[in-house]
Structure 1
């Protein structure tokens, strides 16, 4: 099993360009698995972990409801935002500047073949990172992602998640609000869940902004521990 993971930080990049790049990497891993099976070989399959920051964009998952987007595309354009229907699980979400988006493209045959466990470990990676900053991140039953003050009237989401997997190869991933302009969440019902707020790391800590690179390094450290992975 190949537990080496190639890390790429794509910087500030258009959503569609990044999605297309994800698809290329994803398909290359799937194709290698198919060749191995067909030829009876055991060539190692690669693993990738992409970091990226997107311009303002709203994406709707396969099971999402368009009614959770509260404005039309003309109004979105007025806010400098775009919209895409995509092939991940989950409902509607927002990506934008000041948000750390992570796309692990892993062959889970290299780690464990359990999508539920995969999602829980991604959540745990974020929960441990928040703990590094003195915050208590939590899971909310039946709602993927990471929250604060679950079970209270002040429950708010700080990290959204939505993944796709085929032949145990993953794509899409998580979006952690770090220095995010939270007003963009007012244009939608986040993840289709009414009556719950959203927040960001800098708001919770009362700071003007956080060091994005520092947060990424903390996330990667916990990722390595949880997945027993080696970074390249």
Structure 2
């Protein structure tokens, strides 16, 4: 097995969604066992994206925002300016991990990024992504007890959405961290297929940062967690 190095982190800036997905797919199909892993950091113009199991009824009113069908996991989400979208392009076989561990590491990178701003991120069982307590996002207390099955997101807001694709042990798509966005478009969908799920960003939590800083924080942590 070739010697592994840390992923190459590339900051793409603002790029259209569809060509970026095409580029990720092309990279993944062309790579071999010697190809270094990469992490692409970008933001997209407004777009709704549907996962492979995405249901049309989860888009309430797109109001002219494009709705793009994708081959990632998960349901509908929104991408727009002020959001850091990270696309890890990694070979899981070289890392000696499976998809469940890969998702855990991505979520952990987001949690550590939030921690750098004093915000505590939480996981919700069965609902990939990272959430914060709306009443006190800076509290370090764990979520108390099991989630209410009638309202698993009570008191929580989603700050990072995750949807991945794995092809021959190689990953693309990834995670989106909300930094300073217009959040209204999230109100026109059922985010990730959950009715009434509230979406927040760092600005909502009164955290002052900019896109380059947040992208650098997330990129560094993803590279650390996805290194040999």
Contact (CA 8 Å) 2:37, 2:91: kept in 1 or not? yes
- Equivalent residue, structure 1, for 2:156: 155
1:182 equivalent in alignment to 2:183 = yes
Structure in which a larger fraction of residues adopt helix:
1
- Match of residue 39 from structure 1: none
CA shift, 1:24, in A, is: 1.3
1:64 corresponds to: 54
Report the CA distance between 1:219 and its aligned residue: 1.4
Q: CA RMSD in A?
A: 1.6
TM-score (norm 1): 0.85
Name the counterpart of 1:165.
166
1:10 is matched with which residue? 12
Contact 1:154 1:197 in 2 (8 A): no
Give the superposition deviation at 1:187: 1.0
Q: After TM superposition, give the deviation of residue 216 of structure 1 in Å.
A: 1.7
Matched, 1:89 2:66: no
* Shift of residue 206, structure 1, vs aligned partner: 5.1
DSSP 3-state at the match of 1:135: coil
| Number of the residue aligned with 1:218 | 217
Q: 1:212 to 1:119 in 2, by over 3 A?
A: same
For 2:83 and 2:102, how far apart are their aligned partners in 1?
22
Q: What is the CA deviation profile of residues 87-133 of structure 1, one whole-angstrom value per residue up to 9, with x for unaligned ones?
A: 00000000000000011111112212310000010000000110111
Q: 2-side partners of 1:227 and 1:189: how far apart? A: 31
2:111 to 127, 145, 149: 127
Q: Is the 8 A contact 2:4 2:94 kept in 1?
A: yes
Find the aligned partners of 1:227 and 1:17 in 2 and give their Cα distance: 25
Q: Which of residues 72, 86, 98 in structure 1 aligns to 2:82? A: 98
Contact kept? 2:38, 2:90, Cα under 8 Å? yes
C-alpha separation between the residues in 2 aligned to 1:3 and 1:109?
A: 14
- Structure 2 stretches of 5 or more lacking a match? 134-142, 148-152
CA contact (8 A) 1:113 1:168 kept: no
Greater length-normalized contact order (CA 8 Å, ≥ 6 residues apart): 2
Q: TM-score normalized by structure 2?
A: 0.86
Structure 2: distance between partners of 1:194 and 1:164: 24
